[in-house]
A = this chain, B = another copy of it.
Amino acid sequence: MIRVTVWNEYVHEQEYENIRAVYPEGIHGCIAGFLRKDPELQVRTATFQEPEHGLTEEVLEQTDVLIFWSHARQEEFEDQVAERIQRHVLRGMGLIALHSAHYSKVMKRLMGTGMTLRWRHGDRERLFVTAPGHPIAAGLPAYIEIPREEMYGEYFDIPKPDDVVFTGWFAGGEVFRSGCTFTRGLGRIFYFQPGHEEYPIYYMEPVQQILRNAVKWCMPTLRRSTGPDCTEVTEPLEPIC
């Protein structure tokens, strides 16, 4: 059993009629909905508006993989909660950061880079599999089409990914490393570009397949309840000569 927490800012859906029409139960409701059909997954949700954004120490301790969508309240996100998420990732919790969450405090803390990119509304994306043997690409064709998507373009200021599982082609003339994996401490991170809030992208079956695959790939092999701290070795392993 993998315990998944789907976190969504849940601001756009309440503020804009057209976005609520796409995601009447919020992006988190849509994602939790299709993940719950998988009997291996135990899914809960949380949003920005809850105390501590719904991501208390207790919730994170009981989370194997955190899915994270954010955009409008990046700066208002509590520093303490961002630090807490980072700490849990380093101790093993998996993290799937979606779309504009590239610019969240959580991702900036974990990546250390500017996380900047080029962007423009109203484009179309073709997502190529560029690591076909990777578990996150399991069951997918050579490429998938996303009929409407916000363009995210290079240069994307991230550290070198472990794997670039998906590379995006945009009709408007740009490219993007749209699906990237990273390891930080014991935790596995998957950044996935698709998912602009105005378009029904998380209803697409291949996108759902990618997220299911990613949840399973992000499941920690090892999880620690304390640390990280430096460790003094009081007695050497060998006599020093």
Tell yes or no: A237 within 8 A of B by CB: yes
Copies of this chain held together in the complex: 4
Q: Which residue of B lies closest to A107 (CB)?
A: B112
Tell yes or no: A236 within 8 A of B by CB: yes
| A234 B120 Cβ-Cβ under 8 A | yes
Tell yes or no: A1 within 8 A of B by CB: no
Docked pose: A119 CA to B234 CA in angstroms:
9
Residues 53-88 of A, flagged 1 when their CB comes within 8 A of B and 0 if not, give 000000000000000000000000000000000100
| A123 B155 Cβ-Cβ under 8 A | no
Docked pose: A140 CA to B112 CA in angstroms:
25
| B162 A169 Cβ-Cβ under 8 A | no
| B231 A119 Cβ-Cβ under 8 A | yes
Docked pose: A234 CA to B172 CA in angstroms:
11
Docked pose: A163 CA to B170 CA in angstroms:
22
Tell yes or no: A22 within 8 A of B by CB: no
Partner pick for A133 among B118, B171, B185, CB 8 A cutoff = B185
| A236 B138 Cβ-Cβ under 8 A | no
Docked pose: A168 CA to B176 CA in angstroms:
10
Q: Contacts of A122 on B, CB cut-off 8 Å?
A: 240
Interface size on A (CB < 8 Å)? 76
Residues 124-178 of A at the B interface (beta carbon under 8 Å): 124, 126, 128-135, 137-138, 142, 151, 153-157, 159-160, 162-164, 167-175, 177
Partner pick for A236 among B123, B160, B187, B240, CB 8 A cutoff = B123
| A171 B112 Cβ-Cβ under 8 A | no
Q: Contacts of A154 on B, CB cut-off 8 Å?
A: 128-130, 167
| B90 A114 Cβ-Cβ under 8 A | yes
Tell yes or no: A41 within 8 A of B by CB: no
| B159 A184 Cβ-Cβ under 8 A | yes
Q: Contacts of A49 on B, CB cut-off 8 Å?
A: none
- Report which A residues bind B (CB closer than 8 A): 86, 90, 92, 103, 109-120, 122-124, 126, 128-135, 137-138, 142, 151, 153-157, 159-160, 162-164, 167-175, 177, 182-188, 220-222, 227-234, 236-241
